Amino acid sequence: VTTIPTIGFNVETLEYKNINFTVWDVGGQDKIRSLWKHYYQNTTGVIFVVDSNDINRIEKARDELQTLMTQDELRDAVLLVLANKQDMPNAMSASAMTDKLGLHHFRRSWYIQACCGISGDGLYEGLDWLASTLQKQQQR
């Protein structure tokens, strides 16, 4: 399967479970990561997509995730991690990725969902958690 990495960013507005989401899809390449900070303001939820089949880059993903989630502007944001490419034969489980990414160290609401971007398996379960969690936060 050939995929095209995001260059720069894409932005979409969508409604899911009666919540309007403005979704910023920002590229993950090294030279683009320094631009991420420009998208943090007013962020209530972060969806961090990780290639669960790429054991060689999981430490880099962990480091980037930890750097991202320590930003002051994201202190109240909830975190959904999508463990993508579960259709691949060597994909790490969501449990293994939880450990490798150090998710138990985060002091915020977080959830990890195994998924396959191509088939869509697992995506709605992750979005259901995100929508439910954000609705609960709004009610406080």
Active-site residue, selected from the candidate residues 29, 41, 135, 139: 29
Residue 25 in marked binding region? no
* 28 annotated ligand binder: yes
| CB distance 112 to 98 below 8 Å | yes
137 in active site: no
Q: Is 86 annotated as a binding residue?
A: yes
Distance between CA atoms of residues 126 and 117, nearest Å: 12
Please check if 84 is assigned to a binding site: yes
Asked if residue 80 lies in contact with residue 126, where contact means CB atoms within 8 angstroms, the answer is yes
Pairing of β 19-26 and β 9-16: antiparallel
Beta bridge partners of 80: 47, 111
Q: How many CB atoms lie within 10 A of CB 111?
A: 19
**Which among 76, 6, 8, 17 is positioned nearest to 43, based on CA atoms?**
76
Q: How far is CA 17 from CA 46, 114, 128, 137, in A?
A: 17, 21, 8, 15
117 is known to lie in a ligand binding site: no
Q: Which residues are annotated as a binding site for GTP?
A: 28, 84-87
Active site residues: 29
Q: Which residues are annotated as a binding site for Mg(2+)?
A: 6
Q: Which residues are annotated as a binding site?
A: 6, 28, 84-87
